[in-house]
Chains A and B, each alone.
Chain A
């Protein structure tokens, strides 16, 4: 087996085209930027019937050039991926090999986009996302990692090797190295090389994606539950409650995040059970939130409300108790046979500290929104109707604050991903063989100046995921402001 090059045999023809096109594209963008400053944008003429039309000119010409070279560039990049899907490593090298491994992800992405674009008028804000290019790019990046993570983590599809097994002779090997003595049925290359313990970087990357894709949105959701449940009354009632809660939020926000992580996530602190107690407190907020939400809506129909609350809170309470109680830690309230699942204590600690750090910011945002919205007429109308304060907060104020909150939710998932990476980077919480991106970057940074590939792969992945979330938030903001 020969080592693979990045673009393989076909790359000999495609690479020069790619280089020339990228050079032209860069020049075109630069010219367009200079033109937009120098000529004052596109020239517009007024037609006799009062309509406006673009009169062309230097700026429009440069804009057209940028668009076409950009499209051509995109086509070449797609060519690598599509040829790779059919030909595998034999045609377009490492890129081909990766794109062949990712076939299920491509199919899922194409299906998602085809369905969403077809029915976009019926899908509300989500459908409107497909009107904005930025939003679509962001959504594609995010969904790529969600699908890839889920398929690698749950179905074991994308990965080529086991993420923990070490293969002799593959230590710190560069991307595309063939495996020594590969047996039949075994993937013959380390597509993205081997790390300092001779494990496959490519497989670890996608296994790690699953950890990130699971924890980040869930932790953000919990932080939102805490922030909303505390922020709405603080903004709506004001007064002492507001002063006290704001003081506490500012207290946590004044803490340097990394110091807090070091204080919460060390094994000694875990031994005292403080993270478990914090989990007990923080995880109760979703219960309170849902309970109050349903009660305030249906309390006028007790025959419907009481069974509903019993069922919903019963199920949630059971999940809550199984979540917090864990044999061997300080909080073990539930007997073993009732305990549905045990969370890895490392992951629980990471989860708790990330929720704890994020919740005060959400609190401040929700409080600000509630302060603004409570002066509106529909709130006054609800008060005149005699609605209770919690009904007004959860069913009048909250739905009207959803736009900024959804946008912030996307941004905050990105920020949570960064925080998770920070924890991994300092080697806190998760075990050192965990494939998550932060831990992998931490492991790879020691040999960075000699073998950078092991750290660069997770670094770029984290970058694309967070970039995708930011672009998605930008697209959502743009579209939600339109109406």
Chain B
């Protein structure tokens, strides 16, 4: 087991390195850098001015060297201008020679500086992640119990009226992406066209002060799309368990239907949905980006859109590291959890 986790961690690290390198490579292509120079300097810069601006800041070097600098395994860039001022990646302008750090990268805990937000990347990501954590927490709180109940109710008697209506409902939710359900929800519950102004169509204030009025629609929108899939998996696993021999034995012994479902079937039926729920979390990340844009909730997804839209390289790298780590950790947890929940499976 220990070896298995170690190997998985190794693969995770390799994946994270490859992915960040791809992001790094794509964001550091010359047209992107040119745009960056023009937005940071001024828009009427000549090609030579752009080149020297980029050269002063170490952007022209080899991609691998730059990536190494970001990681903190290659010394940061140092530029000495003709008038003698020395600027560097790892120290303020004209800092005394003794106080100049050589390395400053992720390994040293320095995630860089966001050029759009004019702040430390680690600060920005931490605040935005907290906001999204709140959203995700509420989503999971709504989504998981609801989808499990729907799945178990549908699966306990295959082919019944209840099963058919609930299955139709879950198929309908998987067919409704967040930008469709969000639009419909806002139109029905928050617009003046239908007149039902029950909720608010914007969740901007929910960051400081989440109320029922401004937080319901975003939470519901994300939860609904993820729900259908988990419910269908739960239903499939429940119908399979309900045809098992030990359920038939229990029924022949005269155990009541309610007891069969709650005491005999439920625990075995919930193993498969656990994996699905864990693997669904990365998918929720997509939903979070869409919903935060639609409802203008300034969380991690909103940050991703801002960073990507403005080619804010260091911020974008931090954002992708966080999301890749989320994906890989949920995969790991789902694998390990599956083994713990299902004693029939052994890792060799």
Contacts and interface: CB of A to CB of B under 8 A. Distances in A.
B175 A459 contact: no
Interface string B279-294: 0001001100110011
B184 A460 contact: yes
Nearest to A32: B161
Contacts of A33: 161-162, 165
Contacts of B268: none
A449 B29 contact: no
Interface stretch (B57-65, B74-82, B190-198): B190-198
A268 B32 contact: yes
A453 B327 contact: no
Interface residues of B, number: 58
A262 B316 CA distance: 11
Given A36-B157, A251-B18, A269-B29, A425 B285 contact: no
Contacts of A414: 175
A466 B175 contact: yes
What is the predominant secondary structure among interface residues of chain B facing chain A?
helix
Interface string B1-36: 000000000010011001100010011011110110
Nearest to A262: B308
A365 B102 CA distance: 48
Interface residues of A, number: 59
B19 A453 contact: no
Contact of A263 (B23, B172, B176, B293): B23
A445 B285 CA distance: 21
B183 A467 contact: no
B43 interface: no
A282 B316 CA distance: 27
B289 A449 contact: no
B161 A463 contact: no
Given A269-B31, A449-B192, A450-B191, A254 B183 contact: no
B201 A448 contact: yes
Contacts of B177: 418, 421-422, 462, 466
Contacts of A441: 179-180, 183
A256 B304 contact: yes
A253 B331 CA distance: 11
Nearest to B11: A247
Contact of B183 (A455, A471, A474): A455
A463 B32 contact: no
A181 B88 CA distance: 68
A426 B171 contact: no
B47 to A, nearest CB: 15
A375 to B, nearest CB: 18
B282 A256 contact: yes
Interface string A94-132: 000000000000000000000000000000000000000
B311 interface: yes
Given A425-B179, A441-B180, A448-B183, A255 B31 contact: no
Contacts of B187: 448, 452, 455-456
B201 A263 contact: no
B290 A263 contact: no
Contacts of A251: 15, 18-19
B37 interface: no
B27 A263 contact: yes
B122 interface: no
A77 to B, nearest CB: 17
Interface in A159-185: 174
A40 B257 contact: yes
B191 A449 contact: yes
A135 B257 CA distance: 32
B161 A63 contact: yes
Given A255-B324, A414-B175, A456 B192 contact: no
Contacts of A471: 171
A29 interface: yes
B157 A41 contact: yes
Nearest to B177: A418
B160 A448 contact: no
Interface string B158-182: 0011100100000110111101100
B180 A462 contact: yes
B305 interface: yes
Contacts of A269: 26, 29, 31-32
Given A41-B157, A471-B171, A450 B192 contact: yes
Nearest to B322: A256
A174 B187 CA distance: 14
Nearest to A418: B177
A255 B187 CA distance: 32
B191 A258 contact: no
Given A256-B285, A268-B34, A452-B191, 19 more contacts: A33-B162, A66-B161, A174-B193, A255-B320, A256-B327, A259-B304, A263-B26, A263-B27, A264-B26, A266-B308, A268-B32, A425-B179, A448-B183, A450-B191, A451-B193, A452-B194, A455-B187, A459-B179, A466-B176
For the complex of A and B, list the 8 residue pairs with the smallest distance between their C-beta atoms, beginning with the closest: A452-B187, A262-B308, A268-B31, A467-B175, A466-B175, A459-B180, A418-B177, A32-B161
Interface of B: 11, 14-15, 18-19, 23, 26-27, 29-32, 34-35, 153, 157, 160-162, 165, 171-172, 174-177, 179-180, 183-184, 186-187, 190-194, 201, 257, 282, 285-286, 289-290, 293-294, 304-305, 308-309, 311, 316, 319-320, 323-324, 327-328
Interface of A: 29, 32-33, 35-37, 40-41, 62-63, 66, 174, 247, 250-251, 253-259, 262-264, 266, 268-269, 271-272, 274, 414, 418, 421-422, 425-426, 438, 441, 444-445, 448-453, 455-456, 459-460, 462-463, 466-467, 469-471, 474
